[in-house]
Structure 1
Amino acid sequence: MVLIVAVAAAGGAALVFFRPAPPAIPGEPARTGWSFPASPPPRTPSRARAPERALVYVAGEVMHPGVYAVSGDARVRDAVALAGGLRPQADPVSVNFAAHLQDGDEVVVTAEGGAAPATATHHRRAGHRKRHGKHRHHRLDARTLPDGASSSVSDGASPNLSDAPSAPVDLNAASAAQLAAIPGLGPRLAERIVAFRDANGPFDSLDELLDVAGVTEARLDAIAAAARVR
């Protein structure tokens, strides 16, 4: 009797483990005993982010000085082209036309025979010196004093060495005529310095002249002995 029960139990277990697989449903793939998660689709490279636009200031010997919007990958030549190109008296080697631009850059094109650029690129990066603990963000706009405007110096002072002042000139007290007499400045830059001083307050150091459009490091070195700040 016990033997019969054991045989019956073994037969039932065999039926459980060796049941035939259910018939496949037409239109569905056959099932297997193992399943794997579907592989994720291959990633497609995302399109490069479009460069942002930047604002740059173009000054000096260009047809239309001013602030221009350029693409994030623009170069100096693009900014000069937006400003109408070079004037006839411009020195084409005073700037590096292949240099990349950043937001807030200033491109200054000098005239032939003018002060040599301090660097090969001859355009200043964005950033302003601190005055009284605050950043100065006021740069003389070309619309306030066009780069091609005629000088209105009353006494006709010239930047010749024979007219150079005998003592250093105080940048915070000098008139446009007195500043124009400093060798290396001239009437045009003298008027810019006075306009910048009126708009931003007195200078704290000679280095702050670099915030005036058209004043390069080379020009600043040239006038350092003839100017001072009280």
Structure 2
Amino acid sequence: MQQRIIIVVLAILVALPVIVKSRANRKISVPAAFSIVSSATVMARISGDVRHSGVYRVTANSLTLTAIEMAEPVRPVKSFAPGSCGKSIVTHGDHLHLELGSDGTGTISCGSMSAKERTLLGIALDINAMNAADFEHLPGIGPVLASRIMEYRQKNGGKMRCEELQVVEGIGEKKYKELVKYF
């Protein structure tokens, strides 16, 4: 009986440091008070005077300045030119281009990724921002049908809803169902 007690005590003494050590290294993840946890992201292309141009996934509601910093400007940016879109919010499918002057002044121009690139990345297209060449990248749309879509949009005030594609000659229900997933 006494031997069993000694063995149990020794086993506890051997196991105790392992248990304590594993608990000490464990990090408890508790969000700070009033913190907003968001996993929403947007994708934007960053180019120009940056070390790592390419497509970046940034947190939703990030400023363009934050996105540009991710791509690492080639030189320190001392200030941003007035009229630059540096303080605007990055949206899905944006194309941000940084130009650095010799004095360290940065100019960020904001545009949109091409329809082809947006399609490849699974980003919804804006039917009102597309040109005929953009429409031609969609399956089943050639130059003739693309020009009909452009003509229809222009006749109706330069804007159209996705549902209105069905009104364009040459787009039936089947083709519409195939196209609607891109918008």
Q: TM tier, shorter chain?
A: 0.3 to 0.5
Q: Which has the larger radius of gyration?
A: 1
Structure ranking higher in strand proportion = 2
TM-score, with length taken from structure 2: 0.37
Structure ranking higher in helix proportion = 2
TM-score, with length taken from structure 1: 0.30
